[in-house]
Amino acid sequence: MIDLIMPEAEYLLRIVIAGICGGMIGYERKNRGKGAGIRTHMIVAMGSSLMMLVSKYGFFDTAGADPSRVASSIVTGVGFLGAGIIYFQNKNIYGLTTAAGVWATMGVGMAIGAGMYIIGIVSAAIIIAAQIVLHKDLKIMHMRTEEEMFFRIVNTQEAVDTITNILKDSDVIIEKVSCKKSEDNLLSLKLRVSLPKDFNPHLIIDMVRNNSFVIMASI
């Protein structure tokens, strides 16, 4: 009897550890005000761990069974759960990170259910750390945006240098330049530029317009 109870106790321990790891991941999401919080992540982790245990140990008495099919079905099932978290509003997609977190939590639960304690626990820690660190306003994570600018200026080197310096001082990168000269000594410029995140391109236009050599400046 004791020989039967001991393995079952270890299996229950795996489920509990998976639930704790899932709850920690969910706690971070809950603090962000996300819909899928502690309970959702705990249930996903514990359920995945339970199904992994059934997949690994539940078919010893069944000849010809393929227990790996249970484990593979977990991935599909949790994928549908993640899809329900994602929604589209005002031309923006929300819930992708939380859905990915739920999917990763499933992996943590499966790993612990399979007895891979270190991999499961360390993976949970890495997931939490990634959620916290990458959610911060890190300069390295700032995404630049592209914009097209049009200028019509007096065709002099001083005018070109002035515009170039204005862009450079504003951390605006010139990606592509198209220019066309006219017979009245004017130069038409079409610039494709890369702007810093949340930068207002109209500030550049206003600065360029303040120069006497500028005939036209627009976006």
Confidence of residue 39 (pLDDT cuts 50, 70, 90): confident
pLDDT digit string (tens) for 42-86? Answer: 888 888 888 888 887 776 656 666 666 777 777 777 777 767 777
Q: Does the global pTM surpass 0.85?
A: no
Q: What is the maximum alpha-carbon separation in the chain?
A: 101
**Matching residue, tokens 């891979």:** 116
Rg (CA), the chain: 29
Structural domains in the chain, sorted by start: 2-140 (no CATH), 145-218 (3.30.70.260)
